[in-house]
């Protein structure tokens, strides 16, 4: 559930944008909010929503499209039964199984194969109470298991099936599959029914196709955590809390990974490793963040090296800072050995599988598979 005050804040921010669009004679909702609204991008990429969707999807999920709708007295439309069949991509790349190309608000859309849609989850965040009389969503349970339906098949199912209404209170969250047949009627007593519609995917697209909305990682900094001295799990918990202070948005944190030491002195204890993604503040630079990480290491007892790769309570390596590159004695970006280290790539691929390190041509998920 979203707090009522948070719903009001989002509604106050988004409603004027939609009103302006309608004044210009444009129909539908406000698209491309992942790219145009930082608050919505942070919300869609928040750990709470990603965790909720990943559990429903059965795999790590990432946001790819956000649309804002409002059914109100000026736009009290009827939505017929349909499936959500289109996805947004960066450019048109002719690919087997992908058809129905179109351009909406300057963004290329395409109908992907059934397998892509089956691995997606949609989240609807309700900023107002949505009762049956106010155009609540109607769904046909189980219809998403039938794949992509023809008009005739959809008509048959909606005629013979039993629809289910989905009233949702203000702040409520509704999850559904894009292939689920759904519809809504005009409101009987129309008032605001504002919904933030967020689509999540769990897999990369083939043949060079790229999700239009999956570029959030390009603005993040990724920090590798390592520890093999002291209570490593407690150290990680405390260090992550401190790292949150450096981020303009909630952190994205991988699971903790226990690994054998690599290139360390004989007899070194096993390591605990993780990756944290943070959103650098506007004034942050790679150099300033690197200095903060070094200071944080010292806070946790890191001493000057006497032996290369000796045990330490906390090691913080800046792996990536957006698309920045550096090659100085003090800082190298991206980290020069990141693509060679499983203890870096495995947690990195968990939280950002489609990230492409500057200078690389393959995603971290593919780099991990090739190790």
Phi then psi dihedrals of residue 168, to 5 deg: -135, 135
Cβ neighbours for 249, distance < 8 A, ≥ 6 positions apart: 42, 45, 46, 278, 279
Phi then psi dihedrals of residue 260, to 5 deg: -75, 150
Q: Supply angle C-alpha 207, 210, 216, rounded to 5.
A: 150
Rounded to the nearest 10 degrees, how much is the dihedral formed by the CA atoms of 316, 320, 324, 326?
A: 50
Locate 271 and state its tokens. 């390591």
Residues 265, 82: Cα–Cα separation, whole Å: 62
Q: Is residue 129 within 8 Å of 170, Cβ to Cβ?
A: yes
Cβ neighbours for 192, distance < 8 A, ≥ 6 positions apart: 11, 15, 70, 71, 72, 127, 128
For 314-336, give one letter per residue: b (16+ CB within 10 A) or e. bbbbbbbbbebebeeeebebbbe
Locate 155 and state its tokens. 């008509």
What is the DSSP secondary-structure string of 11-57? HHHHHHHHHHHHHTT--S-B--HHHH-HHHHHHHT-HHHHHHHHHHH
Q: Is residue 182 within 8 Å of 63, Cβ to Cβ?
A: no
Phi then psi dihedrals of residue 271, to 5 deg: -100, 155
What are the catalytic residues?
A: 302, 312, 315, 317
Q: Is residue 179 within 8 Å of 83, Cβ to Cβ?
A: yes
């Amino acid at each position: 559930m979203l707090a009522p005050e948070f719903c009001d804040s989002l509604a106050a921010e988004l409603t004027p944008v939609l009103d302006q669009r309608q004044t210009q004679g444009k129909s539908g909702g406000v698209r491309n909010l992942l790219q145009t609204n930082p608050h919505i991008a942070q919300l869609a990429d928040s750990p709470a929503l990603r965790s909720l969707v990943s559990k429903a999807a059965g795999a790590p999920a990432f946001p790819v499209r956000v649309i804002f709708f409002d059914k109100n007295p000026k736009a009290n439309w009827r939505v017929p039964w349909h499936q959500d069949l289109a996805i947004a991509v960066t450019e048109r790349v002719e690919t087997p199984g992908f058809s129905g190309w179109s351009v909406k608000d300057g963004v290329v859309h395409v109908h992907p194969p059934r397998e892509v849609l089956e691995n997606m989850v949609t989240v609807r965040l309700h900023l107002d109470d949505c009762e049956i009389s106010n155009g609540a969503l109607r769904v046909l349970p189980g219809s998403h298991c039938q794949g992509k339906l023809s008009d005739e098949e959809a008509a048959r199912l909606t005629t013979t099936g039993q629809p289910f209404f989905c009233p949702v209170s203000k702040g409520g969250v509704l999850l559904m599959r894009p292939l689920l047949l759904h519809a809504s009627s005009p409101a009987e007593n129309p008032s605001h029914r504002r919904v933030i519609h967020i689509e999540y995917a769990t897999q990369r697209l083939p043949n060079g196709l790229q999700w239009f909305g999956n570029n959030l990682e390009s603005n993040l900094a990724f920090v590798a955590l390592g520890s093999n001295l002291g209570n490593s799990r407690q150290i990680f918990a405390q260090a992550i809390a401190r790292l949150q202070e450096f981020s303009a948005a909630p952190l994205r944190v991988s699971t903790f990974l226990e690994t054998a030491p690599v290139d360390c002195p004989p007899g070194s204890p096993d390591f605990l490793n993780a990756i944290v993604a943070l959103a650098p503040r506007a004034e942050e630079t790679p150099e300033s963040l690197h200095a903060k990480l070094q200071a944080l290491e010292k806070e946790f007892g890191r001493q000057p090296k006497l032996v290369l790769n000796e045990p330490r309570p906390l090691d913080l390596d800046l792996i990536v800072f957006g698309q920045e590159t550096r090659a100085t004695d003090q800082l190298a970006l991206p980290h020069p050995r990141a693509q060679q280290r499983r203890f870096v790539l495995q947690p990195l691929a968990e939280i950002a599988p489609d990230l492409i390190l500057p200078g690389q041509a393959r995603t971290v998920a593919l780099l991990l598979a090739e190790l």
